[in-house]
Amino acid sequence: MKILAIHNFHRSNSASGDDQVFKSETALLESKGHKVVRYNVINDSFDNSGAIGKIKSALGMIWSFKNAKNVKKIIKEEKPDIVHVHTFFPLLSPSILYASKKCGVKVVATLHDTRFICPCATSLRGDEICNKCGDGKYFRMCKYGCFKGSKLQSFLVAINFKYHRIRKSFYKQIDRYICLNENQITLLKEIGFDEKKIVKKYNFVPDVESNIQAEKYDEIPDRYAVFYGRIGEEKGIRVLQQIWDRLDNIPLVVMGGGPLEEEFKKWADTKPQVYFLGYTQHDKCLSIVKGGEFVVFPSIWYEGCSMVEIESESLGKPLVATDLGFSVEAIENGRNGYKVKLRDVDGFVSTIQDLWSKPELCKKMGENARKDYEAKYLPEDNYNQLINIYESTLK
């Protein structure tokens, strides 16, 4: 099978989940003998452009003639069996969907976030869950500056999504939606998406358990809990700080970078029990996770299918995570981790203290987490699901 895989990368060397999924999924398809034609853009081109370039790019969010033309050309030359779109926002624009359909090729889209409900993709207003724009009244974004805290940028994004809502672009130009969890499916059905076109498929990560060994590092203690990932508001960084303001006897190792990195570092420097390593090379990061007791994941937004969570399970580590989004179905309390209510600092503190005091339980739950990974998130199973989705779409 020949697949045209399309994706808008966030940044160079990005560790964003959808960027990782695009790379790993296309590589998996190629390893199975399929021909993958990639068409990518990257937000670096927007970041590095001048004022005029940024204005042109902003207008192109609504309809990118350039990318539509390029996609048509690729389809005519390569004649793919199917088009698989991951992220189209902001540079590719929905024009690529129309280009694919005009060429007579079926379109599959993986929904890595809730962008069809919330144009900001986070379902957050500030730091609170919000899905009000599912009704299509996007201009309320301007009042709150939902997109990057800017009323002007929110206005431009609102115009974009209002235009495509009127044209029903996301309803009519996509033949199959791949959702990552039940919450996404429920949200889509509530705003009128065709249930028959929706399927669920989790992400996957390679089996790192057999290759990664826990190593001891001088800069961290022998026993510790772990947080790793983006140091950003949506990942619950401020909640994590509140938790460890009250846990002075449990070491926490934190790895990652992001917009709150400097602020977090200043806080961590005042906490002798918190070891902030910043961005950590991937193999070393996984080795440190493997050596920890459990992974803490206090996210405040709807995680699609968190790569951190399934990677932690592949390493045999239990999770203490927010009872929201993907975690709702990924974690079974007392078996492979614990779920705590959104922003329930007391709940996180008591759960972490209890689990920390029971190393044998940590070990047992870690073994269950590993079994959960083997049952749900192996590459081979994921490949079979993906091919079945393609084949059913082409019928």
Decide: helix, strand or coil at residue 371: helix
CA distance 123 to 99: 28
Q: Check if the beta carbon of residue 27 is closer than 8 Å to that of residue 10.
A: no
CATH number for the domain including 365?
Answer: 3.40.50.2000
* Domain span including residue 23: 2-121+167-204+379-394
Task: Identify whether residues 178 and 289 lie together within a single domain.
Answer: no
Q: At 250, list the tokens.
A: 């449990």
58 with 194, same domain: the answer is: yes
Q: Do 359 and 387 belong to one domain? A: no
- Position 195 scores a pLDDT of 97
pLDDT band, residue 347 (cuts 50/70/90): very high
Q: Identify whether residues 316 and 193 lie together within a single domain.
A: no
Give dist(CA 99, CA 65) in Å, integer. 10
Say yes or no: 69 and 103 in one domain. Answer: yes
Q: Which residue has the higher pLDDT, 153 or 375?
A: 375
Are both 359 and 240 inside the same structural domain?
yes
Query: What does the pLDDT look like over 278-292, one tens digit per residue?
Result: 999 999 999 999 999
- pLDDT at residue 53 tops 70: no
pLDDT band at residue 47 using 50, 70 and 90 as cut-offs: low
Residues 191 and 112 in one domain: yes
pLDDT average, residue stretch 316-331: 97
312 falls within a domain: yes
DSSP 264-320: HHHHHTT-TTEEEEES--HHHHHHHHHHSS-EEE---S--SS-HHHHHHHHTT--EE
Backbone angles phi, psi at 83, to 5 degrees: -110, 130
**271 pLDDT above the threshold of 70:** yes
Pair 95, 178 in one domain: yes
Find the mean pLDDT for residues 69-88.
98
Q: Residue 12 pLDDT more than 90?
A: no
Whether a cis peptide bond, with omega within 30° of 0, leads into 90 is yes
Is the residue at 153 inside a domain?
Answer: no
15-29, 34-48, 172-186: lowest mean pLDDT where? 34-48
Q: What count of other Cβ atoms lies within 10 Å of the Cβ of residue 2?
A: 12
Structure-model confidence comparison of residues 386 and 10, the more confident one:
386
Q: What average pLDDT does this structure show over 34-50?
A: 86
The model carries a pTM of 0.94
